[in-house]
Amino acid sequence: MVFTNGCYDLLHPGHIRLLEQARSLGDLLILALNSDSSVRRAKGPSRPLIAETERAALALALEAVDAVTLFDEDTPRQLIAELLPDILLKGADWSHFIAGKEEVEAAGGRVLTVPLEPGYSTTNIVDLILSHQP
């Protein structure tokens, strides 16, 4: 079982490639999405752009994703501790802090980071769109 998480507020090619890479590492990929209130705490009052139920439906439509769950906390540490995936995967931008790392490693699992897809960031895409407003 492979586990990854994030806001996935505006699905872009970087997300797709990370999810495909994650899925290639195991037989089952679980994606935990930040709830709307969790996204607001992390990203500010103007986010999320897309509601949690719609983000979950979009993610489930992807071939790489086997299951989606939501978490309302700031991190999915508790969820990870309950599931204890074989592989916990995050983008390299989170290499300084990976929630659930200790729990997964203590259970014999692996914690991996993957490089981000250059040029893709939801925040940068939002900023680009807003910069084109009259």
Q: Which residue has the higher pLDDT, 63 or 116?
A: 63
Give, as one character, the DSSP assignment of residue 94. G
Q: Between these two residues, 122 and 64, which has the higher pLDDT value?
A: 64
The whole-number average pLDDT for the span 77-93 is 95
C-alpha to C-alpha distance for 48 and 61, rounded to whole angstroms: 19
Whole-number Å distance between alpha carbons of 37 and 65: 23
pLDDT, tens digit, for every residue of 98-134?
A: 999 999 999 999 999 998 877 777 777 777 787 887 6
Size of the chain, expressed as the number of residues it contains: 134
Q: Domain boundaries in the chain?
A: 2-131
CATH class of the region 2-131: alpha beta
Sequence-separated (6 or more) residues with CB below 8 Å from residue 50? 9, 10, 58
Q: Render pLDDT for 11-52 as a digit per residue (tens, 0 to 9).
A: 999 999 999 999 999 999 999 999 999 999 999 999 999 999
What are the beta bridge partners of residue 111? 88
User: For residues 100 and 77, is the Cβ–Cβ distance under 8 A?
Assistant: yes
Contact of 5 with 38, CB cutoff 8 Å? no
Listed residue (101, 97, 71) closest to 87, CA to CA: 101
